[in-house]
Amino acid sequence: GYTTQIAVLDLLAVWMANERRTLTAPRYAELVAGIADLPERTQRSIDLNPQVSYLAERYCGNSSLFFIGRNIDYAVALEASLKLKEISYIHSEAYAAGELKHGTISLIEEGTFVVALACCDKLFEKTMSNIKEVKARGAQVLAVVLEGNRQIFAEADDVIFVPRTEALFNSLPEIVPLQLFAYY
């Protein structure tokens, strides 16, 4: 379903960029290699997170939760929220993390469960600021970050790690543990 569609769209985008001559030959080769590496990166994402079923059990008592993210992380948050609703029938919403101050933050109260996707390196500090905001209002936070990120432990209650890959293709290894979370 979703993961196959994203992989095909990634491949199509790289092919079109190459056809339009907007990529250098080395960059094209890099991107094709990145796509070829996606199955291994996705498996690594599963292997890094044997605790996903435990996390699902830990947070299954919540009647509602929020997903937040920026850039590609926001698109992944939308899919993760949809998958959770489809499988578990638990209410969830996805919000662009940068828009929290425009009303959404008022929905966060003591014990609210927030899944914060923070795999976009260039926006990590801004997302970390959003995590601090929801924590200050009493939220429990499950963060999704790139492998090796230790800074997240200062704020998140729990962490899911995603392997580093070509940034354009982060969404595939990022969504799989969240799909498993919804399944469990």
Position 86 scores a pLDDT of: 95
Cα four-point dihedral sign 156, 136, 117, 89: positive
Six-digit token pair at 102?
């425009």
Range 157-183 average pLDDT: 96
Six-digit token pair at 1?
């379903």
Position 105 scores a pLDDT of: 87
List all residues 6 or more positions away from 142 whose beta carbon is below 8 Å from its beta carbon.
Answer: 55, 59, 113, 114, 115, 116, 156, 157, 158, 159, 160
Mean pLDDT over all residues of the chain? 95
Q: Tell me the pLDDT tens digit for each residue of 100-158.
A: 887 788 889 999 999 999 999 999 999 999 999 999 999 999 999 999 999 999 999 99
Position 102 scores a pLDDT of: 77
Separation of alpha carbons 151 and 131, rounded Å: 12
Residue 5 DSSP label? H
Neighbour tally for 112: CB within 10 Å: 17
Position 100 scores a pLDDT of: 86
Position 1 scores a pLDDT of: 84
Six-digit token pair at 111?
């014990």
Q: What is the pTM of this model?
A: 0.94
Residue 23 DSSP label? S
Could you tell me whether strands 113-118 and 64-69 are parallel, antiparallel, or unpaired per DSSP bridges? parallel
